[in-house]
Amino acid sequence: MITQKAKYALRALSALAQSEAGEPMMISEIAAQQKIPKKFLEQILLDLKHQGIVISRRGKQGGYLLRKPANEITFGEILRVIDGPLAPLPCLSLTAYRRCDDCDGEQTCEIRHVFARVADATRKVLFSTTIADAVAQPEGAEVTRLMA
């Protein structure tokens, strides 16, 4: 399961992607629209800002904007900065590799092969799907896809 925080982050970014381009969107606006606790959302957006995903304007008329076009922000990228490593095992993480100290060797580890395939499969989806894809699928998504 992904965390609630990651879910909020993805929904907040979706909200930004659908907001008027160039116009900052306020935390309180996003919170209300997406039913996210406001103070929690503050932290999340701050994280995303520090990670270079969004930019902000302070003071009156302030708010948040996407830093890159929505079709350049992948789900994988967001999950990684919010929830940490995507890999199912520490020894399979590209960004936070850690040896399993209770297993004898990665070549002989019985379960590593299997989860390597899981990791590949999920990465394939997560890094090929962007915030733009998400907001482009309000309903009848499959149909839209097939027709495109």
Partner DNA sequence: TTTAATGTCTATAGAAATAGTAGAGTTACA
Partner DNA sequence: TGTAACTCTACTATTTCTATAGACATTAAA
Residues at the contact surface with DNA, assessed by CB under 7 A: 3-5, 24, 26-28, 37-40, 42-43, 45-46, 49-50, 56-64, 83
Q: Which is nearer to DNA, 1 or 148 (CB)?
A: 1
- Residue 94 or residue 125: which is nearer to a copy of itself going by CB? 125
What are 14's two structure tokens? 């979706």
Q: CB neighbours (10 Å) of residue 41? A: 21
In the numeric block, which tokens belong to residue 33?
A: 């629209």
Instruction: Report the partner that residue 134 touches, choosing among a copy of itself, DNA, none (CB closer than 5 to 8 A by kind).
Output: a copy of itself
51 C-beta neighbours (distance < 10 Å), count = 14
Q: Which does 47 bind (CB under 5 to 8 A by kind): a copy of itself, DNA, none?
A: none
Query: Is 57 strand, coil or helix?
Result: strand
